[in-house]
Amino acid sequence: MGMRGPVPKLTSQRLGHLTRSDRERASSLAVSGVVTAPERPLEGLHPVAALWYDSLKQSGQSALFEPSDWAAAAFLAEALTRTLDAERLNPQLLTAVWNAMEDLLTTESSRRRVHVEVRRDRGEARAEHSLTALEEYKQRLGG
């Protein structure tokens, strides 16, 4: 689990430069091969659990997932199903499932705590459209 306390600011929101300890804290591990997201392994999942598991494939942090992370996600989908299908909601089990989901960096705050930021590419089509609109605006102004 990440550090405790307030959620750190995004790197783009931080003022100043990174300290030596910030740079030393950042680490990486080089591995070979590509991990592909497996199909949802379990039938009979609660619709919310199935939605959560399937959404992981589209989430940016899943690029960091290892096979053990996908196995953990399958386990959590099953645990979430049991929690949601129970006659009475078990708050302790729900808390445990939620905390484990955060360990997989499935919330914005959990990603910020470990200094992982997901930036979506908005696509070239949108950029081209914006440039076209800007050019039209310039022409109308006589520029």
Place of tokens 């399958």: 74
Q: pLDDT value at position 127? A: 47
pLDDT in 10s for each residue of the chain, 143 residues: 555 677 766 665 666 676 767 656 654 556 666 777 777 777 889 999 999 999 998 888 888 888 899 999 999 999 999 999 999 988 998 899 999 999 888 888 888 888 778 887 766 545 444 456 556 655 666 65
Position 79 scores a pLDDT of 92
Are 76 and 94 in contact, with CB atoms under 8 Å apart? no
What's 36's DSSP letter?
P
Cβ contacts of 38 within 8 Å, gap of 6 or more:
70, 74
Which of 50, 58, 42 minimizes the C-alpha distance to 106? Answer: 58
3-state class (DSSP) for residue 32: coil
